[in-house]
């Protein structure tokens, strides 16, 4: 949510930002907010004037009573009763207008960074840089679910009976490799100076609307029936929510945390759930990084954070590239974002394994997260980035380490988490 002062003072900038995001239908909302804001301020000024007048008249009543002029005092009391009714009506109108303004403001996108490329959707995202050399072995690499099944490591059929499409059982060496990667990601971020945290996996609706747009919520979140609770789609949601309504001493900033959680997503939209594999599923596990900092430091943190993810995947010897998200692909709360994509030697192309975003003060403004400075209280900046989301990271590891005999090499950094295993061998022939 942007500052309403920006709409008051530079509505054309806000409208141009909306055009850059190809959301022209929201331009009229800016004009509606301007008119509602004018009416709200008129009511507030009138109410403030009436309150001042009431205080003045109340003081006058006291003096008249002291002077024995009860009739004059009673006339003023009658006048004040009319003021009281009008003030009540104005206060009620203010509350209605304030809520209408807030509801409309929530739909206005954050002002994007000037460096963001302009484009309608993810097909117009821009490659920034490649890290590591993409390779294709001279033998065929099976589909990742087939690799898992050769180890007796994946059971989607049973999961379908238990939970439905989009769920899975990971078993044996495959399950162990999955968890080893998450444990390594945890330690990797701790070694970067981030504080480890396991957050709540359910959050209230006021936190949901504080961290994401309504459209995202509808497409992603599972609601707990009969409760004001939602299953998280990423631990960023509860990690940022941790600071809701807090006033943080600026000396405590930056706050850098890394969190583990399971994640749950409806995955409503064009992509849908993958029937056979593990790329797009309803449930997965994630190691996240979240930073709260001074707004002036946000871009420095953004560049450090996406580089950490690149470094993580390169430590697994997996080639990756970074893509700059174009304006039309940015969620409404984001100022700037990039995707990290891992190389798939089977598909001979890259696929998304993480995303890094800076959101300016959008989440902080919605959730009331401020920092205390010598010059007064200001909103903090928030950032988030995926370290890994498994099983996508698992897919990358399996494909990039698959051997011609059907075995899978364990990356050196993961071997301590696998009891020293250097290779895992299939239980079945493909």
292-306 pLDDT, tens digit per residue, is 999 999 999 999 999
What range does the domain containing 26 cover? Answer: 4-105
Q: What is the pLDDT of residue 220?
A: 84
82 confidence band (pLDDT: 50, 70, 90): confident
How many domains in the chain? 2
Mean pLDDT to the nearest integer, 272-282? 79
Q: What is the pLDDT of residue 1?
A: 78
In a domain, 46, yes or no: yes
430 confidence band (pLDDT: 50, 70, 90): very low
Residues 89 and 208 in one domain: no
The rounded percent of the chain whose pLDDT value lies above 70 is: 91
User: Which of 67-76, 271-280, 317-326 is least confident?
Assistant: 67-76
Q: What is the pLDDT of residue 323?
A: 97
Residues 140 and 235 in one domain: yes
Q: What is the pLDDT of residue 277?
A: 87
Residues 195 and 56 in one domain: no
Question: What is the bridge-based pairing of β-strands 255-264 and 195-197?
Answer: parallel
Closest alpha carbon to 311 in 326, 301, 300, 322:
322
Residues 195 and 260 in one domain: yes
CB 329 within 8 A of CB 124: yes
Residues 181 and 289 in one domain: yes
Return the higher-pLDDT residue of 148 and 57: 148
Residues 152 and 96 in one domain: no
Q: What is the pLDDT of residue 51?
A: 77
In a domain, 200, yes or no: yes
276 confidence band (pLDDT: 50, 70, 90): confident
Residues 240 and 365 in one domain: yes
256 prior amide bond cis, ω within 30: no
18 confidence band (pLDDT: 50, 70, 90): very high
User: Which of 54-58, 193-197, 219-223 is least confident?
Assistant: 54-58
> Looking at the predicted structure, is the pLDDT value of residue 396 above 70?
yes
Residues 355 and 306 in one domain: yes
Coil, helix or strand at residue 257:
strand
In a domain, 116, yes or no: no
CATH code of residue 82: 1.10.287.40
In a domain, 117, yes or no: no
In a domain, 302, yes or no: yes
Q: Provide the H-helix boundaries in 316-414.
A: 362-367, 392-400
CA distances from 197 to 236, 238, 385 (A): 11, 11, 15
User: Which of 11-25, 257-271, 354-368 is least confident?
Assistant: 257-271
Residues 135 and 94 in one domain: no
Token pair listed for 223: 């609601």
Residues 91 and 200 in one domain: no
Instruction: Count how many residues are written for the chain.
Output: 430
Give me the chain's average pLDDT, please. Answer: 91
Residues 199 and 164 in one domain: yes
> Looking at the predicted structure, is the pLDDT value of residue 429 above 60?
no
272 class by beta-carbon count within 10 Å (0-12 exposed, 13-18 middle, 19+ buried): exposed
Q: How far apart are CA 135 and CA 51, in angstroms?
A: 75
pTM of the model: 0.88
Task: Write out pLDDT tens, residues 208-264.
Answer: 989 987 677 777 889 999 999 999 999 999 999 999 999 999 999 999 999 999 999
């Amino acid at each position: 949510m942007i500052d309403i002062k920006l709409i008051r003072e530079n509505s054309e900038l806000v409208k141009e930002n909306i055009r850059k995001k190809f959301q022209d239908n929201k331009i009229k909302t800016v004009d509606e907010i301007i008119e509602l804001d004018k009416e709200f301020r008129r009511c507030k000024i009138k109410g403030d004037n009436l309150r001042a007048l009431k205080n003045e008249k109340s003081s006058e009543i006291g003096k008249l009573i002291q002077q024995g002029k009860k009739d004059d005092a009673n006339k003023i009391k009658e006048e004040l009763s009319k003021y009281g009714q009008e003030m009540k009506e104005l206060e009620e109108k203010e509350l209605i207008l304030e809520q209408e303004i807030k509801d409309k403001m929530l739909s206005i996108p954050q002002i994007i960074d000037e460096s963001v490329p302009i484009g309608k959707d993810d097909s117009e995202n821009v490659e920034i840089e490649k890290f590591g050399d993409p390779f294709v072995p001279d033998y065929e690499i099976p589909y990742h679910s087939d690799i898992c099944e050769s180890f007796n490591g994946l059971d989607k059929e049973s999961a379908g009976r238990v939970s439905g499409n989009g769920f899975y059982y990971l078993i044996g060496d495959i399950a162990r490799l999955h968890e080893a990667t998450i444990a390594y990601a945890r330690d990797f971020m701790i070694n970067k100076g981030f504080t480890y945290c396991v957050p709540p996996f359910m959050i209230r609706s006021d936190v949901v609307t504080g961290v994401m747009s309504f459209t995202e919520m509808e497409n992603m979140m599972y609601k707990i029936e009969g409760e004001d609770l939602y299953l998280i789609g990423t631990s960023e949601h509860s990690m940022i929510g941790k600071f809701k309504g807090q006033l943080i001493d600026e000396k405590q900033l930056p706050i850098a945390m890394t969190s583990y959680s399971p994640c749950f997503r409806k995955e409503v939209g064009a992509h849908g759930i993958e029937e056979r594999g593990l790329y797009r599923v309803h449930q997965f596990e994630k190691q996240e990084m979240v930073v709260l900092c001074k707004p002036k430091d946000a871009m420095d943190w953004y560049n450090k954070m996406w580089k950490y993810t690149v470094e993580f995947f390169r430590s697994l010897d997996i080639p990756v590239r970074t893509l700059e998200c174009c304006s039309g692909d940015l969620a409404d709360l984001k100022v700037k974002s990039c995707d990290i994509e891992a190389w798939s030697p089977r598909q001979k192309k890259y696929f998304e394994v993480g995303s890094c975003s800076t959101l300016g003060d959008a989440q902080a403004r919605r959730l009331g997260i401020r920092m205390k400075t010598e010059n007064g209280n200001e909103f903090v900046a928030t950032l988030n980035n995926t370290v890994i989301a498994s099983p996508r990271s698992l897919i990358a590891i399996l494909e990039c380490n698959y051997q011609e005999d059907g075995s899978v090499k364990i990356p050196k950094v993961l071997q301590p988490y696998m009891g020293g295993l250097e290779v895992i061998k299939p239980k079945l022939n493909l």
